[in-house]
Amino acid sequence: MALGVIMLVKMNMTDEAFNAEWGGWRYPFWFSILLVGVSVYIRMKMEESPLFSKLKSEGKTAKNPLKESFSHKANFKMVLLALFGAVMGQGVIWYTGQFYAQSFLETKVMLDFEQSRTIMLWAILFATPFFIFFGWLSDKIGRKWIMLLGMLVAIITYRPIFNYFLEKSDITTWQQEGISGGNVNLTKTVAFGNNGDSLITNTQTFTFNSGAAYTQQRVDTLRSATNEVITGKPVVKDKILPTNTYWRFVGLVFILIFYVTMVYGPIAAFLVELFPVRIRYTSMSLPYHIGNGVFGGLVPFIGVLLQTTFTSDPLVGLWYPIAIAALCLLLEQYILTIKLIKK
């Protein structure tokens, strides 16, 4: 819904109006006030779970759930198990599939705004039912193995999938296919400063037989005093994929979000079953929010940080989610092995 709202706003105004300080980019935030109202209404109508209501009526709820969750060794061990053995991996898989993927398509692949958003929209639309499916399936066959499998296939396939995005959007490949519509040149000169200097923006749009297209923009500086032109570096942006490649991208992003459904679909029930009723809400809050908010939330930031530090590898940002998911996978396997030995 958020992507759809942003697209509607962006496509109905100019780039300047959307990006201005008090521009259109703020509208989706204002619209979200409606969702706040809906969520407040839902929360006010919700009732406690039957088990908790029973404990409450019997006076058996925890007096200090925070202390009971984290000061008792057995309970705290379960909190750490939930964080490092499940939610940490689930968090990075989620953020990689639905947020880092979008950022990668925009900043590395350099796709056109509309194409990058619609690829995500189609993929999310097709994948969303699988959240329910894997939640249902985990009731039948267990939760851990579904989540572990989701982490494993993500670890194995992340780099090949993201590398495919780069290969199929490589303009040198498109150029070999021949230009069908030629190219369109636009030059715009804007004065800046008080010394008479000007910025000359040269924009070229190339189209190809396959239906692919891209824009190349170069900003030169004209020095008024010397009449010297300082040539800027050309920047490729706003790539448009041919139709067949576009739908392949949709399919691959669908796969990335499919992994998300495998790890996220069962996670709520997994956490609920892990803790005793009297301290359940407090105990599951810490691993859930640290796993998603910290480990997952850092995926885009660390991905960009790694890319700016190690510029030779455009896929270097993927090593963070791969490493965290692998660590989570190994910890969970270790925990399962210890349990089997004890049995």
Tell me which of 135-144, 194-203, 270-279 is least confident. 194-203
172 pLDDT higher than 50: yes
Q: How many CB atoms lie within 10 A of CB 343?
A: 5
Higher pLDDT, residue 61 or 132:
132
Residue 99 CA to residue 232 CA, distance in Å, equals: 31
Average pLDDT rounded to a whole number, residues 106-112? 92
Per-residue pLDDT band at 191 (split at 50, 70, 90): low
pLDDT for the residue numbered 343: 47
Q: Tell me: the pLDDT tens digits for 266-325?
A: 998 888 888 777 777 777 888 888 899 999 999 989 988 898 888 788 999 999 999 999
24's tokens = 């259109």
232's tokens = 């800027």
Amino acid at 169: S
Higher pLDDT, residue 147 or 65:
147
Residue 149 CA to residue 154 CA, distance in Å, equals: 8
Burial 152-165 (b: 16+ CB within 10 A, else e): bebbeebeebbeeb
pLDDT for the residue numbered 2: 85
pLDDT for the residue numbered 77: 81
pLDDT for the residue numbered 102: 92
104 pLDDT higher than 90: yes
Average pLDDT rounded to a whole number, residues 95-100? 93
Task: Give me the chain's average pLDDT, please.
Answer: 85
Q: Which residues contact 66 (CB under 8 A, 6 or more apart)?
A: 282
Helices (H) and strands (E) in the chain, counts: 18, 5
pLDDT for the residue numbered 249: 97
Residue 254 CA to residue 3 CA, distance in Å, equals: 16
Residue 157 CA to residue 15 CA, distance in Å, equals: 36
| Backbone φ and ψ of 21, nearest 5° | -55, -45
Residue 104, SS3? helix
Higher pLDDT, residue 31 or 228:
31
User: H/E element holding 141?
Assistant: helix 129-141
Q: Tell me: the pLDDT tens digits for 79-88?
A: 888 888 889 9
Amino acid at 165: F
Model pTM above 0.75: yes
Tell me which of 93-107, 116-130, 166-180 is least confident. 166-180
Q: Are 203 and 216 in contact (CB under 8 A)?
A: yes
152 pLDDT higher than 90: yes
